[in-house]
């Protein structure tokens, strides 16, 4: 009876409270329920993926599942090493492109142009994130893949094509967060460096970039998570061959592509193996997000200590 007495006492106190207090408590309760529903949804998704995927990992063996190159679902062989290698190759290629151009764009907009131009250019760059991935994939198939096939060789559908497309897709994330990190550096750092006789580039390279290093690292890691989880554009331009790539011009299949391509007709252990692939992908993305949050908090702690 104690829970009921507690609820009755809470209800009595609630009714006795002033109207404004009751309104605030209702709003707070609604917000709390909304937050808990989001967390509950994430927890249910996580539990479902692990429930479906972990048994087949236990059955096959973690080593054989991750380190084997034999992906023959009808024969009971589930080795995802080619997909892991493909995901790593495509993601690294995308990050080389996205980080180089994204960071260069952020430095240009924050250090060498007027604030009015930044106010126009930054939202324009962020609009790239709103373009559907299938549009990027279509542009890659129509323009990029024939260019690679005609001038560089190979089938065109390759690690290089997927890296370029993903590099453009992660560009808004890297650029936007890097701009915020560079703008958060105290202006006194820059003014003090210039007052000591350093040039603008020396100040940018030796002072501003080093002070914003944590935020830039967080931008890179979040962009990497975006690249690892992309599916549709990669399916369209990567070639989807289950083989470890030995060249930028080789076709590959990523973890996300493998799930999307085979889930429609899978059954039994094959279906469970695809969920297990999702478990591996889930763990990778969670690790990247955890690193990004840790780096961001460390940066915030350093900023407060100053």
CATH (residue range 78-305):
1.10.3720.10
Do 163 and 87 form a contact (C-beta atoms < 8 A)? no
Confidence (pTM)? 0.81
Dihedral sign for Cα atoms in the order 55, 61, 63, 64:
negative
Query: If the chain, 306 residues long, is cut into consecutive pieces of 10 residues, what is the mean pLDDT of each piece?
Result: 53 62 70 81 88 90 89 88 92 92 91 83 85 92 94 91 94 90 86 84 86 86 86 91 91 92 88 92 82 66 55
- Residue 306 has a pLDDT of 55
* Helix spans in the chain (H): 2-16, 19-60, 62-67, 81-111, 115-126, 133-139, 145-151, 159-183, 187-195, 200-203, 209-211, 213-229, 232-237, 255-262, 269-305
- Residue 101 has a pLDDT of 93
- Delimit the domains of the chain by residue range: 1-34, 78-305
- Residue 300 has a pLDDT of 54
End-to-end CA distance of the chain: 54
């Amino acid at each position: 009876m104690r829970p009921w007495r507690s609820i009755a006492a809470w209800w009595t106190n609630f009714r006795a409270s002033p109207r404004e207090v009751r309104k605030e408590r209702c709003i707070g309760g609604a917000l709390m329920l909304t937050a808990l529903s989001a967390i509950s949804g994430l927890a249910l998704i996580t539990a479902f993926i692990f429930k479906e995927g972990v048994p087949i990992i236990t059955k096959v063996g973690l080593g054989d599942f991750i380190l084997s190159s034999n992906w023959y679902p009808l024969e009971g062989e589930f080795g995802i090493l080619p997909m892991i290698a493909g995901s790593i190759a495509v993601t690294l290629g995308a990050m080389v492109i996205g980080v180089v151009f994204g960071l260069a764009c952020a430095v240009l907009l924050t250090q060498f142009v007027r604030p009015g131009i930044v106010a126009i250019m930054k939202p324009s760059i962020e609009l790239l994130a709103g373009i559907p991935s299938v549009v990027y994939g279509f542009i890659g198939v129509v323009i990029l893949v024939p260019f690679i096939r005609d001038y560089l060789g190979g089938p065109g559908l390759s690690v290089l094509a997927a890296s370029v497309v993903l590099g453009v897709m992660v560009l808004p994330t890297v650029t936007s967060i890097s701009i915020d990190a560079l703008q958060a550096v105290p202006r006194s750092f820059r003014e003090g460096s210039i007052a000591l006789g350093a040039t603008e580039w020396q100040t940018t390279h030796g002072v501003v970039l080093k002070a914003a290093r944590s935020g830039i690292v967080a931008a890179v890691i979040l962009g990497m998570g975006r690249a690892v989880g992309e599916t549709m554009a990669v399916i369209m331009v990567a070639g989807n061959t289950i083989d470890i790539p030995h060249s930028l011009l080789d076709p590959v299949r990523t973890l996300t592509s493998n799930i999307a391509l085979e889930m429609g007709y899978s059954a039994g252990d094959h279906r469970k193996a695809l969920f297990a692939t999702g478990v591996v992908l889930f763990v990778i993305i969670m690790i990247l997000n955890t690193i990004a949050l840790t780096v961001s908090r460390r940066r915030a702690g350093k900023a407060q200590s100053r």
